[in-house]
Structure 1
């Protein structure tokens, strides 16, 4: 993208900002211009960093000084420059504004997951060949495609990958500027699942009937607050009775999905997916299932055909019960609004027909939405409707209508 093109884009952005009556399409075009300008600047910054690295023994310090940022942030800028140097096609796409720096950073993160230099070089070569995919997809979609390439490079039964993950388990603590004590950890999937289940069990045991002082009212923040106190309880008191509950896994049985291909059997039947947020080798998954409660939920084309527990509470309570949350978790991996990637466990369950308007706490009237979209529905006149197979129709205040089909967990 030439300097003249950049100049035209800057002029268009300025013109739209100066026009108080600009139409939606004009503002959207200006936002595309801003994205292109930013991508062009990021590409040229990466080239300058590469040039700096040839004459500066500690380029990160210089980057931090010139950008007025931390050395940690400067290191990420340097890593992006290194990635672009190894992926010239992606570098050209960034300079043309066809992709964003986020796409490049996804490649950088992917390369760090590979321990072998030869695998890392092969991954960067494959990522460069996927520039077209990056140009036509979001950062999240491109990241998922990169995940597939990593899996191909690490093709094994999952045992070797789990070994690498166990080697990379880390925990760090620090005190921030507000004086708050912080903790951050990276755990292999097996350890992570056990920790998550213990925290969930402790949260339910400790706070089922009452909440501690200072607990926030926002649903998402409340869950974080209670989880923090549950973790503190487990550490300080060794867990006690709160840690003795058996973990629960939901087995999602999709009655419409074809069975996974098998060379040893020609039998047909529904597909079964264990609703856990991490990938595990089959042996590890079997060991976990043997020591946990496995609950089956049967779904078909957006409808729950079978799930244990009472799924229809009517007007007896405003809050969804565990059975309803479990059933909806089987249908949705994320917020129900199209394109939103907020994990289901961070969503609120919204009454499609509002509770204050006589809505019932029944499964077919509940929809998982993130806090941002929940606020839009309640405060910005977003209207949601559900079809018989949970087809979602979203009507916006300006008259736009967005339609999605039945929920698909693998689309998340």
Structure 2
């Protein structure tokens, strides 16, 4: 993309900003221009960093100084430049505005998961050949394709990956500029499943009746606030509240899957993957629930799935059954995980809607607010095909929800 084209895009953005009554199509086009300008700038920054690296023994320090950022942030900029140097097709796509820096950063993150230099070089070569996939997909979709390539390269049953994850378990603490004590940890999935179960159980027990002072009302921030107080409670040695805190997972059996498939998909409260051997070992110390699905419909799940008008709140059996179908918010493009979602009544409760499985849909707090306050209309087909009608008449549709089998 030439500097002349960039100039035209800048002029178009300025024109739209100057037009207070610009139409949605015009604003959307200007946003595309901004994305292209940003991608062009990121591509040229990467080339400049590559030049700098040839003449500067500590380029990260110079980048930090010129960008007025931390050395840590500068290191990420340097890593992006290194990745683009090894993937010329992706570099060209970024310079043309066909992909974003986020797509490139997904490649960088993927390469770090490989310990072997030969595998890493092969991965970068494969990622470069997937430039077309990146150009037509979101960062998340491209990341999933990269995950598949990594699995092919590692070609093991998951045990080697788990060993690497255990090796990379870390915990760090620091005090930020606001004087707040921070904690950040990275745990292997086996440890993570156990910790998540304990935190979940303790939070529900501690704050079932009331919440601590200063608790925010925003659902997402409230969850974070309560989790922090739960962790403090447990670390203070006050003991674990009532509840087993056993890891729990749902074994999802797809009745339409071919007999030679990979077996049931396994869904934990957190989105992790574990080797079959470890799953078998966990089965004796975990709460395992089997659910059968077919083409977006739950055809078998334990517990009472239809509560009618007896209660507005969904029960555990209903949440568990819907977990078998959805990994997160059902609204297209939303990446919010299932455990951060509310179960929305398709026919609203106040309009006579029933708390039955076929009238419930997981949506995040943001989209739940839009449905109730911004005139979003959500409808479900017989196989949970979703139709979303926006206030301006635009319609988005999806097919039946599908799940990926855990490896």
TM-score with structure 1 setting the length = 0.93
Q: How far apart, CA to CA, are the structure 2 residues paired with 1:9 and 1:247? A: 53
Instruction: Quickly say closer, same or farther: Cα 1:113–1:255, change in 2 above 3 A.
Output: same
| Alignment partner, residue 5 of structure 1 | 5
Correspondence list, 1:326-345, <5 A? 326-345=320-339
Structure 1 spans left out of the alignment, 5+ residues: 263-270
DSSP-derived class of the 1:48 partner = helix
| Alignment partner, residue 360 of structure 1 | 354
Q: CA deviation at 1:21?
A: 3.6
* Aligned match for 2:279, one of 278, 281, 285: 285
| Alignment partner, residue 254 of structure 1 | 254
Instruction: Quickly say closer, same or farther: Cα 1:232–1:260, change in 2 above 3 A.
Output: farther
| Alignment partner, residue 264 of structure 2 | 272
| Alignment partner, residue 156 of structure 2 | 156
CA contact (8 A) 2:206 2:241 kept: no
Can you list the C-alpha shifts for 1:214-237, whole angstroms capped at 9, x where unaligned?
A: 333333333322222222222222
Q: CA deviation at 1:353?
A: 1.9
DSSP-derived class of the 1:331 partner = coil
| Alignment partner, residue 178 of structure 1 | 178
Q: CA deviation at 1:23?
A: 2.9
| RMSD of aligned residue pairs (Cα, Å) | 2.0
Q: How far apart, CA to CA, are the structure 1 residues paired with 2:252 and 2:37? A: 45
Can you list the C-alpha shifts for 1:319-373, whole angstroms capped at 9, x where unaligned?
A: 2221111111111111101121211111121122222223222222211111221
Q: How far apart, CA to CA, are the structure 2 residues paired with 1:409 and 1:24? A: 34
Structure 2 spans left out of the alignment, 5+ residues: none
Q: How far apart, CA to CA, are the structure 1 residues paired with 2:123 and 2:247? A: 37
Q: How far apart, CA to CA, are the structure 1 residues paired with 2:376 and 2:31? A: 23
Correspondence list, 1:28-177, <5 A? 28-177=28-177
| Alignment partner, residue 409 of structure 1 | 403
Bigger Cα displacement from structure 2, 218-227 vs 85-94: 218-227
Using CA pairs below 8 Å that are at least 6 residues apart, which structure has the higher relative contact order?
Answer: 2
CA contact (8 A) 2:265 2:404 kept: no
CA contact (8 A) 1:219 1:348 kept: no
Q: How far apart, CA to CA, are the structure 1 residues paired with 2:207 and 2:13? A: 52
Q: How far apart, CA to CA, are the structure 2 residues paired with 1:221 and 1:5? A: 42
CA contact (8 A) 2:193 2:247 kept: no
CA contact (8 A) 2:306 2:355 kept: yes
DSSP-derived class of the 1:69 partner = coil
* Structure 2 residue 306 is the aligned partner of structure 1 residue 309: no
Runs of at least 4 residues of structure 1 off by over 6 A? none
Q: How far apart, CA to CA, are the structure 2 residues paired with 1:240 and 1:381? A: 43
Can you list the C-alpha shifts for 1:51-105, whole angstroms capped at 9, x where unaligned?
A: 1112222211221121121221111111111111111111111111111101110
DSSP-derived class of the 2:327 partner = coil
Q: CA deviation at 1:300?
A: 1.7
CA contact (8 A) 1:220 1:347 kept: no
